């Protein structure tokens, strides 16, 4: 499975592509950081992120896009910009029928380091080790994008199976409730 991992942001947006192999084997295929100057108009910044996401999707044709879920941050404007960048990437993927999944920062950290409270240095060190890289990916946004993609490779298939099982269970419960309602109606007649 090819996964495009995204660490969304307006100033720096990390984008990475990894491919999963047997077991927990993961190979980095490409990584980059899309940069936009803070003095550029918001619409132009989002267009640059969107254009790069489209390019990556068209060139690499991933099976899924994994984006880090935006959490409440100290600065509302930072959180808004991060969410907007993630949104245009999700839009680009949706236009190409590529599934998009969001992963929380603690979920990503736990997947690659074993601790949901790991710091950026620990995440970078483990990404470097997992991918067998000679040097650490820089800047941190690149390492984070790789970590998000790794997280999805390792947890995504299980999450998909659990979601499918949940849908089946809900459908079975609805059929059961319907049969009970029909039986009650039949006994009243």
164 is catalytic: no
Residue 142, CB-side half-sphere exposure with 13 Å CA sphere: 16
7, 30, 63, 97: the active-site residue: 7
144 is in an annotated binding site: no
DSSP helix/strand/coil, 133 = coil
7 is in an annotated binding site: yes
7 is catalytic: yes
Take residue 36 and report the two structure tokens written for it.
């936009």
97, 141, 144, 160: the active-site residue: 141
39, 58, 68, 107: the active-site residue: 68
141 is in an annotated binding site: yes
What are the contacts of 91-96 at 24+ separation with CB within 8 A?
91/50, 92/50, 92/53, 92/54, 92/57, 93/4, 93/53, 93/57, 93/65, 96/57, 96/58
Distance (Å) of CA 162 to CA 34, 99, 147, 167, 187: 34, 16, 22, 9, 37
119 is catalytic: no
- Using CA atoms, how far apart are residues 91 and 108, in angstroms rounded to an integer? 22
State the catalytic residues.
7, 68, 141
Residue set of the binding site for Mg(2+): 7, 68, 141
Give the residue numbers of the binding site: 7, 68, 141
């Amino acid at each position: 499975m090819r996964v495009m991992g995204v660490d969304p942001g307006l100033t720096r947006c990390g984008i990475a592509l990894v491919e999963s192999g047997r077991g927990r084997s993961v190979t980095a295929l490409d990584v980059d950081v899309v940069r936009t100057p803070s003095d550029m108009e918001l619409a132009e910044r989002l267009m640059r992120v969107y254009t790069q996401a489209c390019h990556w999707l068209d060139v690499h044709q991933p099976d899924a896009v994994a984006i880090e879920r935006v959490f409440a941050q100290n600065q509302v404007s930072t959180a808004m910009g991060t969410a907007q960048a993630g949104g245009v990437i999700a839009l680009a993927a949706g236009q190409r029928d590529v599934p998009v999944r969001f992963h929380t920062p603690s979920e990503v950290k736990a997947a690659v380091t074993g601790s949901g409270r790991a710091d950026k240095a620990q995440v970078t060190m483990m990404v470097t080790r997992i991918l067998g890289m000679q040097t650490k990916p820089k800047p941190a946004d690149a390492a984070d994008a790789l970590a998000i993609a790794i997280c999805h490779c390792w947890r995504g298939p299980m999450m998909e199976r659990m979601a499918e099982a949940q849908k089946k269970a809900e459908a079975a419960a609805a059929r059961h409730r319907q049969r009970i309602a029909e039986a009650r109606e039949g006994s009243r007649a």
